[in-house]
Amino acid sequence: MAGLLDEDRPQPHSLETEKAVLAAMLKEPASCGNSAIELLGSADVFYSHVHREIFQAVCTLLGDAGEVDLISLAHILHKKGVLEDIGGEVFLAELYSSIATTANFENWCQIVRDYHILRGMINVCSDSLRQCYSVDSDIKNIIDEIESRIYQVRNTNVKSDIISLRESIRDVFTNIQKIINNEVEVGIPTLYPDLNKLIIGLKPGEMFVLAARPSIGKTTFALNIIRDVAMKGNMQRGVMFFSLEMTAEQIARKLLCMEAEVGEGSFYDKSFRPQDMTKLTSAVSNFRNANIFIDPTAGLTVPEMRAKVRRLKSQNNIQLVCIDYLQLMKSGSNPESRQQEVAEISSGIKKLAKDFNVPVLVLAQLNREVEKGSSASVRPKLSNLRESGAIEQDADIVAFLHRDRDQAKDLNREMMVAGLDTELIIEKNRNGQTGIVSLSFHPHIGQFRSKSRYSDEDHPQPA
């Protein structure tokens, strides 16, 4: 291992390919020169310092005059005092004559980039070994930093292309046709038809904030969503659930009882019936192929979350991330105030949604101002989002779960059958409509049901 990481050992490279790229830039500066700048990015991709100097000089000439010739190139290298160091005008002439055609130019650029990525990975791994031997550093931070740097190197070759509007319009029109013909899915549909009409499903890259006061049922509603997403049909969608408040066992128990329609309280108040065991056994079988992953880490930071999503997405087809809940997270930096920290967390979550192209369902707390209204019917507003207005700005969708919290205190059999009247208020929707979805909450089995879908006979009966 020591021999492999010997700093005196040459790193992967191809000097001949680097020369071919530079020769193509000199022969056809208008096409190959400008393409090289776009494909390679900077002089750092070259292994040879001589080639880095020449590439930088060619880029300067293209930027200043738009043209390149050997005399101008020699002049600019002479002004920098490096002409003789690289071999003088003779070397430049030999370089110019080193290729007969530029037909394989893009392939040469790719080879140069690939070697650059390998060298970057070697450097990261070498630095990582040194960090791992350092006993003064925090282990968790070391691992997060190593994963982040490896991911950066891995994506060095990913570039953002400039897209012609003509091409984009054509692609968009084709996609619209597929949507109309039900050939593609715009967003992941939820089990609530009225909600789907407003938001058109949970769309990749979007940040969906679900906010409410404590004890309204935020976590339960989110679990209803992820259970349906992970177990619907044969899609086998992976779901990552970050539970900063509850343990993995508590979340698993809630999901199991929800699927079985068995009240959690029946385990403790002696109301559990023999037929309930059959329901639980069937529910366990239903979850056999569900790709739901629970992370109960308390005080999770944004960098830690990114590292975990990155790993799980590549291994388990993660298509939905859920966070319970935002105000329990940490930014991973040292902000001046809690408001600034929440703003950094919110921005980090939105970036995670875009970078990994998955919808992120984020639960959040509302401040106490929402409870100061004259009656329980007073609905929350965007200004009630706790600790930072940045949540409202970053979110694509902001929804409030709202009901009379005191109603559940005197819950009788009749109310359990009918369910508690609940509103899901879509207060902000960047890419769609706002509105109110009427739900019924059945706390004895932990289910939210859409009022428009069920008749009285469909309501779950309590024991």
Q: Are 451 and 259 in contact (CB under 8 A)?
A: no
Phi/psi of residue 257, each to 5°? -65, -35
Helices (H) and strands (E) counted in the chain, each on its own, are 16, 9
Bridge partners for 442 per DSSP: 447
Q: Compute how many other C-beta atoms are within 10 angstroms of the C-beta atom of residue 129.
A: 12
Amino acid at 431: N
Instruction: Measure the CA angle with vertex 83, ends 78 and 86; round to 5°.
Output: 165
Q: What is the β-pairing status of strands 435-442 and 420-429? A: antiparallel
Cα–Cα distance for residue pair 372/366, rounded to 1 Å = 12
Q: Are 76 and 57 in contact (CB under 8 A)?
A: yes
Cα-to-chain-centroid distance, residue 31: 36
User: What Cα–Cα distance (Å) separates residue 347 from each residue in 114, 122, 187, 222, 243?
Assistant: 32, 31, 22, 21, 19
Spot the catalytic one: 28, 89, 106, 245: 245
Cα–Cα distance for residue pair 87/74, rounded to 1 Å = 11
Residue among 460, 354, 401, 365 nearest 195 (CA) = 401
Residue among 100, 104, 115, 109 nearest 47 (CA) = 115
Residue among 400, 404, 402, 403 nearest 434 (CA) = 400
Residue among 187, 51, 40, 212 nearest 112 (CA) = 40
Residue 180, burial from CB neighbour count under 10 angstroms (0-12, 13-18, 19+): exposed
Cα–Cα distance for residue pair 26/429, rounded to 1 Å = 52
Q: Are 425 and 238 in contact (CB under 8 A)?
A: no
Phi/psi of residue 31, each to 5°? -95, -60
| 392 in catalytic set | no
Cα–Cα distance for residue pair 402/422, rounded to 1 Å = 6
Show which residues are catalytic.
245
